[in-house]
A and B are shown apart, each in its own frame.
Chain A
Amino acid sequence: MKFDYDDEQRLLADSVRRLLARDYDFDARKRIVASERGFSTTVWKMFADLGLLGLGLSPDYGGFGGGARACMSVMEAFGDALVVEPYLATVMTAQFIARGGTPAQKTLILGDVVTGERVLAFAQTEAGARYNLADVSTRARAIGGGYVIDGEKIAVVHGPCAELLVVSARTAGEGAHPKGISVFVVDARAPGVTVRSARTIDGLRTADVSLVDVHVGAEALVGPEGAALPLIEEVVDYATALVCAEAVGAIAYANAATLDYIKARRQFGVPIGTFQALQHRMVDMTISHEQVKSMAGLACATVDTERDAAKRRRLVSAAKVKVADAARHVSQESIQLHGGMGMSDELKVSHTFRRLAVIAQLFGDANHHLERFAST
């Protein structure tokens, strides 16, 4: 039993935090968010140079072969600094190749991911599907040794900057049937692919992606044809665990900023932090942070070590319920305790609020995960 980060994780976290302190303060982030591309290729290259993009990938492709736990301290630092680079999208999508891909696919894609030359995104969600990973209507018809893909994907996080998309599509079955789903690698610039970019509430970019008569070769298929749902669930659970770790950092920032504020802000001649009504709310925010730390650790350890898929789903969902609730609780209280200032776009805490609002629903909200937890 060991809960602290080990030396390697701590060194890595220190390097990341140093980098972010130097090149990613709140003003730098604002400029990046406002830029055409929506993320900084310079920062992205620095992430690659630090080895962050290969933390979860095999040394065969230049990575470090770590699991979700290897990324925890990085995600925590990213949550604190509100990093908008397509890190989560890329590392989670790379896991499809790492876990389900052929040696040729791995060679072709993973090396470039590690060096920062390829941004990936996962095109899964469809209108009306909400968080049900089996609800896929996009079709892939087998034709002449390859496939033709048709469908509409929505809310593809970092879709606009991805060179490669991993797309879920039905090769058989329909509706939300668990069988018949396959996963393909699709070039975002392939004929028939249209990516409509939009900004998100939390400063990221998202895309709706149309796939019309998109031809891919047989080598585009990742994993078994028609039986990719377990792979999708595994990767999304992995990504959910990373989001829980990001929430730890975002909540830590919201709490630290709020604590500083109530110690400094004076009303009625005294710091408002002397008022017990506010102190007890600040304490409850602190307790939420501790509980989220525990559950993020549980989620990351679970996706790394739990081989039983049902147990994995159950524990990851337990973590996400707690994280979603705590994200709402802490972010709302952080604004309330900041008073009018908390509403302002000028203050970072209002941006953390927005990120936590998204995190609470990313890969499933509390209700979705409560259902998944209680029915497993």
Chain B
Amino acid sequence: MEQEAILYEEFEIAGGDFVNGGSASCRVKNILKEIGLEPDIIRRVAIASYEAEMNVVMYAKKGIMKLILTPHKVIIKVDDEGPGIPDIELAMQPGYSTATPEMREMGFGAGMGLPNIKKNADIFNINSTVNKGTNLEIIINLNNKDE
């Protein structure tokens, strides 16, 4: 069932910018707090969107994070221009990572990014074209007790 977006926001993500990496997911988190979503929903969105953002920072040239709120769910879409993922099934396996030694030194590249997003999402869709980019869609259902 398609639903109207009641809120739509976009945030740019710069590839390779480890200093500001995490700021888009932080904005998303703060917006959801201002709206007053349940703390556990916010936590799941925060973790999933942070992982998605850091994937763009680590591997892609640039990307965009979209926050879409409908009456029944939070949708985070992350589209990037980058190398893409040749084997998504492999990338989804916990522990698998193509991070460089430098990234690992910064504490990234444990191979838990995508599995972690999946764990926190109700629905997780991923599409990727090699040498073009990756599109993620993370859907988290609202508890909807106010209805």
Co-complex (A, B): no
Interface residues of A (CB under 8 A from B): none
Using a CB–CB cutoff of 8 Å, the interface residues on chain B facing chain A are none
